[in-house]
Amino acid sequence: MLTNEQLNELMTTPSAALIEDMKKIEGDIMILGAGGKMGPTLCELAAKAVKAAGLEKKIYAVSRFSSEEACKYLQNCGVTVIKADLLDMEALKNLPDAENIIYMPGKKFGTDGNEWETWAMNSTLPAFVANKYKNSRIVVFSSANIYPIAPVNRGGCTEQDPVVPLGEYPMSCLARERAFEYVANRYGTKVFIYRLCFAVALNYGVLCDIGTNIMEGKPVQLGNACFNYIWQGSANEYALRSILLADSPVVKMNISGPEVVSVKYVAEKLGCALGIEPIFEGEPENDAYLVNTMECIKAFGYPSISAGELIDMQADWLKNGGKTLGKPTHFEARNGKY
């Protein structure tokens, strides 16, 4: 079984392709909202790629950072840590300039009943950030939730399909995209919209959710019959390499693995490895939140760890008591409420 340290190393070791692309990226990189589930490993990966490429560019990590341990760890990795509440306009104003921005702030869970907080983070803040950094290249994290639930036999929504957000969280995600689209069209800002669909890191993610339900004797919901997912190490790498693809008008891309995977298949594979018979609830629908990732695979190649390998790794992680973050994805939701 992987240790926590080995898992982190696996996620933060840059590929040859990333190292070469890092040489082409001009200027420093600032990662806003770097304290979330993906942010710390993304920052560390960026710093390692810079070092491997023999460059001097700075990697900034901006977040409220409640953990001093996390701050010190990133600083030891060569990352410049800036503690800031991005919703504090004075703090935002005082951030340094950077040629490249990766925008990660967002609120999803707890939206129902606190919609105003979600809209402030997901739509109001992006407008201010977009204006402040309108002369930078910007990669904007977004969500596949802005698409409608699509028939499984279509293989997922493409970037050209109309967006039909269902619920306040998906609507606020679309508002975030539109804020950055505005500066791209008004000022020529180069923007890449990164529509991520389920990153998996063993200590959290859809596979972790399904496996945890099996171990706790909870039913696995079958309504959303299928889903996409991608190894977090590859998702992080694609975010950094996306900087070179940012353009005006904006470039929009679905980011996930190429497979459309059955929830029931994953549960049965995990259950077999864990020695526990899964309990199922509901019947598989003929549609789900799915994305077509042909453009992603064409741009960046196949993820470094396959969908099948991740199922085996996830089972091993849970079976041997691997630590989990306790942050479920709610992948089973079909009504846009989180």
Whole-structure pTM value:
0.95
Place of tokens 């939206």: 111
Distance CA(293)–CA(289), nearest Å, equals 13
CB 307 within 8 Å of CB 229: yes
What does each of the 338 residues of the chain score in pLDDT, given as a tens digit?
A: 789 999 999 999 999 999 999 999 999 999 999 998 899 999 999 999 999 999 999 999 999 988 888 899 999 999 999 999 999 999 999 999 999 999 999 887 666 788 889 999 999 999 999 999 999 999 999 999 999 988 888 889 999 999 999 888 999 999 999 999 999 999 999 999 999 999 999 999 999 999 999 999 999 999 888 999 999 999 999 999 999 999 999 999 999 999 999 999 999 999 999 999 999 999 988 888 899 999 999 999 999 999 999 999 999 999 999 999 888 888 887 776 76
Tell me which CATH code domain 4-199+232-256+289-303 carries: 3.40.50.720
Which residues, 6+ apart, have CB-to-CB distance to 87 below 8 Å? 120, 121, 125
The domain locations on the chain are 4-199+232-256+289-303
Distance CA(44)–CA(12), nearest Å, equals 6
- Which residues are bridge partners to 221 per DSSP? 281
DSSP state of 243: G
